[in-house]
Amino acid sequence: MKPVAHASETKHYKLYGSMLSIIKKLVTYNLIKQSYTGNVINILKEILDYTSEEFIQIKVLETLLPMVNPQIINLTESIINNVNKQ
């Protein structure tokens, strides 16, 4: 997840499309550990805060959709509270 986080920090919207595709595939194939779910949500939130590009916003939503499936990632109350604090 470090390369994804670094790509997010660049604030270069052209990297966001590729980065979001990578995150979506990792989430879909259940390759992101439960402990990193909060980090992923924070990265997606930062992307939405930074860009107003509709294409990127749609990609963020497409990335979030598999995350709300409890068979893929279990969004526990502690993860949600941790995201809300940041």
For 45-64, the pLDDT digits (tens) are 888 888 888 998 999 988 88
The Cα 24–Cα 18 span in angstroms is 10
What is the structure's pLDDT at 65?
Answer: 84
At 61, phi and psi to the nearest 5? -65, -40
Residues 6+ apart with CB under 8 A from 39: 1, 5
Domain boundaries, the chain: 2-85
What is the structure's pLDDT at 75?
Answer: 63
Q: Which residues of the chain have pLDDT under 70?
A: 1-8, 10-11, 13, 70-76, 79-80, 82-86
What is the structure's pLDDT at 39?
Answer: 83
Distinct helix (H) and strand (E) counts, the chain: 5, 0
Nearest residue to 42 (alpha-carbon basis) of 16, 79, 71? 79
